[in-house]
Each structure stands twice: as structure tokens, then as C-alpha cells.
Amino acid sequence: MTRLRRNQINRLFWVAAFIGLFLDQITKHWVVQNFTLGQPVPIIPGVLNFTYVLNRGAAWSICSGDGCRWVLPWLSVIVSIGIAGYGLLMRIEDRWERAGWGFILAGALGNGIDRVKAGEVVDFIQAFPITRFPVFNLADIWINVGIICLLIAILVTAQQEGKHS
């Protein structure tokens, strides 16, 4: 395992978080400024559309009723503070874990900003429109990328422990 220098502690965590958040927010702003709400724009016909929609709920519009509308912004804030605190206070040795938590923070912050600002999230990526797969955004992608990174970290750690047994 490589040793991190004092000034490099969790750098990958913060780079993933800030770049991911920036890309999420800039693409959402671009979509809001340039697309009509609910009007699909084919990018790759039958495979990928940009369809600007507003999601009041969480993933797949879960908890999109009025009863949950006040819960999700607070949940986003609490999760974001918890992950940011982890990145600030803990030394994360594994690079996959650093990247994973950074991407998850980018996604939580990206959608959290939307929820706090407007009470709903800007979604626009519609994969395989014929399947009616939910429309999503870069923040959602970052959360999934982060989970994949954390799974890789677990597998790498398990492999290394298996070699040392």
C-alpha cells in the first residue's frame, strides 16, 4: 500500500467530488437553459435521448409525494455532511475507496443542491427510451460510479488479505 504524503491526504476524494459536482451542475444548467421541459431530443435514435424532466422524488421517483418533499433535501444535506466529514477527518488509504466516496459525495451534493434550491432535481439523460427506463442525470451516474469503486476496493482488499493468509 502506498504511503500518502501529508499534503496528499484524500486528494483523489476531493478531486472526484469537486469535478463531479461541477460537471453535474453545469450540465443541469445547460439543460434548463436550452431544452423544453418534457420534450425528448434524440442524441442516438432509439438509444439515447436528452429529455429535460423534473423529479420531486429520489431514484426512480420514489418518495415523490408531498409528504416526502421536505425529507429529501434534509437527507441530502445530512448525507453530504457525513461523507464530507469522513473525507476531512479520516485518512482513506485505498485509492478506489477515496474515488468511490468522492464520486458519491459529488452525486449527493449535486442532487442535494437541486432539492434545497428548488425542491426537485433536474434529470435529462434517457437511455433506451423504448424501455421507459427512468430519466437520470450526472449526479446519479456519479453515485453509481462511486458504488462500483467501493465494490472494487472491497474486492482488492479481500484479494490482498487472501494472499497474506
Q: What amino acid positions are annotated as catalytic residues?
A: 123, 140
Quick check: 57 and 123 in contact, CB under 8 A?
Answer: no
Q: Is the CB of residue 94 less than 8 Å from the CB of residue 152?
A: no
Radius of gyration of the chain (CA): 18
Phi, psi of 151, deg, nearest 5: -65, -40
Dist. CA 104–CA 112, nearest whole Å: 12
Q: In what order do the strands lie in the sheet with 48-55?
A: 41-44, 48-55, 121-127
**Do 83 and 108 touch, CB atoms closer than 8 A?**
yes
